[in-house]
Amino acid sequence: MNWEYESPRKAYGETLVELGREMDNLVVMDADLSTSTKTAMFGNAFPDRFINVGLQEQNMMGIAAGLATTGKVVFVSSFAVFATGRAYDQIRQSIAYPKLNVKIVATHGGVTVGEDGASHQMIEDVGLMCGLPNMRVIVPVDSNEVRRVIKFVASENGPFYVRLTRTALPNLTENDDSFHFGKATIMRDGSDITIIAMGIEVSYSLMAAEMLSKEGIDARVINMSTIKPIDKDAIVKAARETGRILTVEDHNIYNGLGSRVAEVLVENYPVPMRRHGMKDVFGVSGKWNALLEHYGLDAKGIANEVRNLMEVKI
């Protein structure tokens, strides 16, 4: 497939600079990783509204909460493993509980962190953030959607968690597309089975669907960018129309996208489904694309999961 690849982190940094010109009350914070998260772009453009706290993620969340009480719109960034794991208590008590206007944008989510290994491959973050009342969770599908998402969360009051990857993603959407919070997008229609994916796994699901079409399997592919609140109507509609659901995520299958979809199905329209992702194991060090292949999260692995699910009688 002829896709143009672009860094979602770079799109994030560029959008922050754009917003900084429009919003005098925008403040950006980082924890000594600004060149990697690309918040350094904002820091270079607006040094008086950029705070690098050093290796103090917990302190960063507390400061962000305090700034939010003064009317600031605060974006905080670090790697996903630090932003959500190391600072969970501060996010819970100081941001989510009082519903403060803090936007947590974490980069380097999932196993595509690659060579940094299991210690940095955060596969629990979506589950942690979805479990917090008042927190809304978004995993953009590409850089174009990153730009729309960042502008959206900046305009909405209250806390958000946005998960980005380290690696570049193919642009599957257009610049002028709209972002509809809480709504899924059908990327490819189909009648035999539905693949619901998030983030980088949407592109691999589309590749898998193309492979399967040559075998006579017509797979629908849905981009579920908003994980919380999840689009219940789209899930039930897909279950009614295709009869089978496969979820795909660069995340633990427990407490992630698959768990959220399963909750909707069991309460509304049970059909055969499988959760495909990191099967309750930590990652290992390696090239990001080799890791996706190793864990069956590439097109071939997804296609195999679809074939297995197609054997289940409805």
Percent of the chain with pLDDT over 90: 97
Query: Beta strand 102-107 with 160-163: parallel, antiparallel or unpaired?
Result: parallel
Average pLDDT of the chain to the nearest whole number: 97
CA proximity to 171, closest of 141, 199, 148 = 141
CA proximity to 141, closest of 165, 161, 120, 114 = 165
22 is catalytic: no
Which of the four pLDDT bands, split at 50, 70 and 90, describes residue 175? confident
Residues 6+ apart with CB under 8 A from 133: 96, 97
Which of the four pLDDT bands, split at 50, 70 and 90, describes residue 314? confident
CATH superfamily, domain at 5-170 = Thiamin diphosphate (ThDP)-binding fold, Pyr/PP domains (3.40.50.970)
Which residue intervals of the chain bear CATH 3.40.50.970? 5-170
Active-site hit among 4, 14, 57, 124? 57
Convert 210-226 to b/e letters by CB count within 10 Å (16 or more is b).
ebbeeeebebbbbbbbb
Q: What is the DSSP string of 24-81?
A: TTEEEEESS-HHHHSTHHHHHH-GGGEEE--S-HHHHHHHHHHHHTTT-EEEEEEEHI
Give the per-residue pLDDT at 74: 98
Residues 6+ apart with CB under 8 A from 224: 139, 184, 196, 197, 198, 230, 231, 234, 257, 261
CA proximity to 279, closest of 256, 307, 303 = 256
CATH topology for 185-310 is: Rossmann fold (3.40.50)
Q: For 297-311, what is each residue's pLDDT tens digit?
A: 999 999 999 999 999
pTM for the model stands at 0.97
Which of the four pLDDT bands, split at 50, 70 and 90, describes residue 151? very high
Which residue intervals of the chain bear CATH 3.40.50.920? 185-310
CA proximity to 68, closest of 24, 26, 38 = 26
Q: For 247-276, what is each residue's pLDDT tens digit?
A: 999 999 999 999 999 999 999 999 999 999
Give the per-residue pLDDT at 241: 98
